[in-house]
Amino acid sequence: MTITKDKVVSMTYTLTDDEGKVIDQSGDSPLVYLHGHKNIVPGLEKALDGLAVGANATAKVPPSEGYGEYDPKLKFAVDRNKLGDQIPPEGSLVQLTGGSGQEFVARVIEVTDAHVGFDANHPLAGQNLNFNVTIKEVRAANAEEIAHGHVHGPGGHQH
């Protein structure tokens, strides 16, 4: 069976940057996802299309098909007085609410006496993603998984 839309794929992977530094890896617990439902970055999903169990693949995913280009407009500062007593430390991720009510996650990049600086870009925005993948299992998704757009059961979400 090959990887096509509505197949549940189990894979192990190592993700490196352009210098070869490991950013993330699956280890002994394979990543399980529903193919064709945007559960993984588009460039990797495209690269895995048509592969079969046992296949090893490498994929260099550009920012446009990964986590997007880095947008300097997503860096901003908030007056420290507006944040109250609970100032998060540099490097932490916080849930914020924008002016139009949408929620988003931002990383604290600077804390001064006057303000707190945030960056709402994904930490991997603007980077090439270099995947080395081994396909462990491919199976047909059931109707509920297809309807929900993700895997249920072992390695997936429970509902």
Q: What is the CATH number of domain 72-119?
A: 2.40.10.330
CATH architecture type of domain 7-67+125-148 = Roll (3.10)
Cβ atoms of residues 105 and 121 within 8 Å: no
Examine the pLDDT at 84 and tell me if it is beyond 60: yes
Q: Which residues are within 8 A (CB) of 96 and not within 5 positions of it... i.e. 6 or more apart?
A: 103, 104, 105, 106, 118, 120
Mean pLDDT of the chain: 93
Tokens standing for residue 23: 């950013």
Extents of the domains making up the chain: 7-67+125-148, 72-119
Examine the pLDDT at 109 and tell me if it is beyond 60: yes
Examine the pLDDT at 156 and tell me if it is beyond 90: no
Alpha-carbon span 18 to 60, nearest angstrom: 9
Alpha-carbon span 57 to 13, nearest angstrom: 9
Q: Give residue-wise pLDDT tens across range 86-100.
A: 889 999 999 988 888
Alpha-carbon span 131 to 57, nearest angstrom: 8
Examine the pLDDT at 159 and tell me if it is beyond 70: no
